[in-house]
Structure 1
């Protein structure tokens, strides 16, 4: 019998993202593919003791997932931007201090005199500025950043939903693979018993030797199927351990839940619209898309704020020191300074200097004494208040272009939100259709299995009595095994689709 592999499902559309449910029914050897890489993981951790339930596996995966952690850091960065935008409403205050050396001819920055010497100067200032009006840009920026932060929180939840659905898919793959191992082991036991009976019948001369050879060939095929199924268990266990970011699948076990058969469940009646209405209010990707649309509208208001005047108020304190500044100090000495005497000439009526007659007085002598640092700082102390009004007139149409671009951004955000809702609706519709199909296929496969079981028992009786050759008997046996595999496949596809629908309705993923 040629090894085959029957895929359980197509791409499973799920909540915040599509989760691949590539579960396979394994009646024979299956072609393996490399394990799906987990979407995240920090440093791998050791597997805690005890078997994992689905709920526990989801919790561990969400805790270790690097995509979730990366999104958390991104949201923290958005929160920092929000805090900064709120702080922009506060006045700014800055203190400055400088020290300079001027060599050669230069202008003293405090006395404003030319000096031909080395001058050391210090300048000290404290300034503050407050924006009084800026076209409401600051307040609109805060509102936009609040929306971006809330959207980031929903992005975190979306990342958690993605990993939860991936874990649920891999978990059910592993449960299915383990069940297939048990089914194939039962087939090996049946083949061994059949070979043993055939050997006895051959010794008694009741059957031909070809029947024994056919039975041995079937037993070898069944044993190969067991090995293949066991390899699949190891494969899916590794895949799930990687999603949980564990060091190794060694010692990692899951708790096999007791799952009801699909025909024991209530017949699923498609109501995707009701589920969509519920999911639309619950799914974080929808909320994030709506919040980003509102954020884009705030961006438009921010861009329009550049049309308005900008009014700011500022004030400052300043002082300084110059090494060239000095105060004259009396030395105690004086210098006689002569001055000529003038008198009115009667002839001309004009003042004329009287020859040989002078007047004089003593001028006190002084010497420059450099001013002390503290004295200069106190005497040079000054204050300043300033209002600044900036009125935009023409800036290369930058304001108009920014408004137009932000309006386009609103339309893009609206389209993205609409696409998110459309994808959600389509995923729910597809999940409903697949769940109903799987439930129907299970019922049909179960009836087929029951009919083929009866046919197999009749073929076994005829084979044991030498009325049926080994080839026809093996065909009847493999037909039964194929029907059983289809039934198991349909069962787990239905379970996964139903869990996806429950997830859309706000119920946690659990078995």
Structure 2
């Protein structure tokens, strides 16, 4: 499941101080709320190669190994095959067929159409062709609709690639933040260890009470717990990022920690969300895909309306056959005298038959033989052409219902396109608001850290001189560390929001 941009924009909010102060029992809940957007499944690539990963390298590997993108690519290939098939529908059809059969007992000869009671062998051969001359422009509109669906599928792939890149960038920055918080907490542990050592010396000298040492040791234990918690967060985000890259293991997986400027190194952040939105409309693939599907749904209406029109087709065929029962006559070379009547002679009294004489006409003799295969195929050759006109009159209102359903589909596609634009506008507005708020929070947290640093040094001097108890000293110390954590969190939150806005403006995700 891909993480939507609005959720990505809020993922950094769970990191930082709140994360590090969570107890061990709270860790599973955090893991559920920030689960990887694309877990590995099926066949996965090998483990991470040697060498740390930059953000760009991590994005490239994630895009190469992601199974969702592979599935979408196969879906687009299927859509392309449908497009090729619809284009081929304008071509004429041609088919050839041949058959051979044996008839036993009483049957009708397929060529002589006579009843007979004998075993016969029959062959039939035919070649036919057809051409769709007119079908309400359904074929043409189907081709255009499938072209739009194919282009929308390509945009869907690009949308998935963008979502994966945002997910990787979010996890990458969360991992960088977690590593920096580990270093910060380790520095706190080192400071607490030094403080415990100093307190032990002061206790031996009688300068402080034993309770101060106990407070320092309790603070050291808390700082060590925070280090373990931060290290667990590093391991979690490292595993999350490795899973986004679809690697089999996070062992040996490291990242390049970039050098990032502080938010107050640049002027106060300001921008024009509407300008970024107008730029993003022409760049974001989800907007293009939504518009293409609106056009596709309109073509579906045209295809449905095409069923109102008559259909006109042309066809032609050639056929022949053979039957073993068919016989033919053949001259034998002999002839037979066939009597034709009496012979008369002319007498004065009129014609008179000559007794004993009969007139005869020679007739040729024929033999009845089965007709040969080649001769039958040649003599039985038939040809046919036909034109077929089909006029729809009433078909249970199916065409009308299909048109109405396709018109509803257009409205749904238009609403989806409008929803995509609204979501994009809200994401950009939220990113701008969060970036401004993060920069302001960083500047305020930095001033707070500077003030608390001075207060902490003063408290440390008073504590070492026995003028401040351990509880108040630890409060001053924790206040300083809390301000430092808030400042670090605000820094990375601002960086991520800025990168999201750069992404919407087509500048890519780079650190």
In the superposition, the TM-score normalised over structure 2's length comes to 0.91
Displacement of 1:291 after TM fit?
Answer: 0.4
- The residue number in structure 1 matching 2:385 is 385
Note the C-alpha offset of 1:266: 2.6
Aligned residues: 491
State the match for 2:129 in structure 1: 128
- Asked whether 1:14 is paired with 2:1, we answer no
Q: Does residue 238 of structure 2 align to residue 243 of structure 1?
A: no
Q: Deviations over 1:34-78 (max 9, x none)?
A: 362442545232212211111111111011111111111111111
Partner residue in 1 for 2:142: 141
User: How much does 1:332 deviate?
Assistant: 6.0
Contact persistence 2:343–2:359 (CA under 8 A): no
Partner Cα distance (2:174, 2:8) in 1: 18
Which stretch has the larger CA shift, 214-223 or 325-334? Answer: 325-334
User: CA, structure 1 residues 509+338, in 2 after alignment: closer, same or farther (shift >3 Å)?
Assistant: same
| Residues in 1 aligned to 2:452 and 2:338: alpha-carbon distance in whole angstroms | 142
Q: CA deviation at 1:329?
A: 2.8
Shift of 1:23: 2.7
Query: Structure 1, residues 249-290: CA drift from partner, whole Å, max 9, x if none?
Result: 111100001111111123121421111111111100000000
Hey, what's the Cα distance between the residues in 2 that align with 1:242 and 1:104? 74
1:278-336 CA-to-partner distances (Å, cap 9, x unmatched) read 11111000000000000111111111111111111111111111111121234566777
Evaluate the alpha carbon distance shift between residue 184 and residue 341 of structure 1 in structure 2; reply closer, same or farther with a 3 A threshold: same
DSSP 3-state at the match of 1:396: coil
| Equivalent residues of 2:3, 2:163 under 8 A apart | no
CA change 1:15–1:108 in 2 (3 A) is farther
Residue 282 of structure 1 aligns to a residue whose secondary structure is coil
Query: Following superposition of structure 1 onto structure 2, how do residues 74-473 of structure 1 map, counting pairs within 5 Å?
Result: 74-331=75-332, 365-473=365-473
TM-superposed CA distance for 1:387, in Å, is: 1.3
Report if aligned partners of 1:40, 1:65 keep a CA contact under 8 Å in 2: no
Instruction: State the distance in 1 between where 2:139 and 2:343 align.
Output: 76
- Residue 27 of structure 2 aligns to a residue whose secondary structure is coil
Task: Please tell me whether the aligned partners of residues 459 and 468 of structure 1 are also in contact (alpha carbons under 8 angstroms).
Answer: yes
In structure 1, runs of 5+ residues without a counterpart are 1-10, 344-354
Shift of 1:403: 1.1
Q: Deviations over 1:361-383 (max 9, x none)?
A: 67655432112212211222222
C-alpha spacing 1:48/1:76, structure 2 compared with 1 (3 Å): same
Contact 2:53 2:255 in 1 (8 A): yes
Query: 1:430 Cα shift?
Result: 1.0
Change in CA separation of 1:16 and 1:292 when aligned onto 2, cut-off 3 Å: farther
Change (3 A) 1:40 1:376: farther
SS in 1 for 2:90: coil
What whole-Å deviation, never above 9, does each CA across 1:392-422 have from its counterpart, x for those lacking one? 1111111111111111111111000001101
CA contact (8 A) 2:16 2:181 kept: no
Deviation string, structure 1 residues 199-220 (Cα, Å, up to 9, x no partner): 1111111101111111111111
**Does the CA contact (< 8 Å) of 1:335 and 1:363 recur in 2?**
yes
C-alpha contact 2:9 2:431 (8 A) present in aligned 1: no
After superposition, what is the alpha-carbon deviation per residue over 1:163-186, rounded to whole angstroms, capped at 9, x for unaligned?
Answer: 111111110110000000000000
For residues 277 and 151 of structure 1, the distance between their equivalents in structure 2, rounded to whole angstroms, comes to: 20
Deviations 1:431-486 (A, max 9, x none): 11111111111111111111111110000000000000111100100011111111
Note closer, same or farther for the CA distance 1:462–1:27 as it changes in structure 2 (3 Å cut): farther
Change (3 A) 1:365 1:65: same
- What is the CA–CA distance in structure 2 between the aligned matches of 1:385 and 1:444, rounded to whole Å? 89
Contact 2:3 2:167 (8 Å CA) reproduced: no
Report the CA distance shift for 1:331/1:309 in structure 2 as closer, same or farther (over 3 A).
same
| CA 1:102–1:112: 2 relative to 1, 3 Å | same
Query: Pairwise CA RMSD of aligned residues?
Result: 2.4
Contact 1:452 1:480 (8 Å CA) reproduced: yes
Structure 1 CA distance, aligned partners of 2:94 and 2:9? 52
Report whether the alignment pairs 1:23 with 2:15.
Answer: yes
**2:494 alignment partner in structure 1:** 494
User: Kindly tell me: are residues 126 and 47 of structure 1, through their superposed partners in 2, closer, same or farther at Cα, counting changes over 3 Å?
Assistant: same
Residue 86 of structure 1 deviates from its aligned partner by 0.6
Q: TM-score if structure 1 supplies the norm length?
A: 0.91
Distance 1:152 1:167 in 2: 23
Q: Does the Cα contact within 8 Å between 2:16 and 2:486 map onto a contact in 1?
A: no
Q: 1:358 to 1:497 in 2, by over 3 A?
A: same
- SS in structure 1 of the partner of residue 5 of structure 2: coil
Matched residues in 1 for 2:173 and 2:376: separation?
Answer: 83
- Cα distance in 2 for residues equivalent to 1:498 and 1:157: 21
1:451 to 1:342, Cα distance in 2 relative to 1, 3 A: farther
Find the residue that maps to 2:458 and give its secondary structure. helix
Q: For residues 245 and 45 of structure 1, what CA distance do their matches in structure 2 show?
A: 9
Decide whether the 8 Å contact of 1:15 with 1:424 is kept in 2. Answer: no
Normalized per residue, the structure richer in helix is: 2
Query: Any idea what the Cα deviations from partners look like across 1:56-104, whole Å, max 9, x if unmatched?
Result: 1111101111111111111111111111111111111111011111122
Structure 2 unaligned regions, length at least 5 = 345-354
Q: Please state how far the C-alpha of 1:342 moved relative to its aligned partner.
A: 13
In structure 2, the residue matched to 1:5 is: none
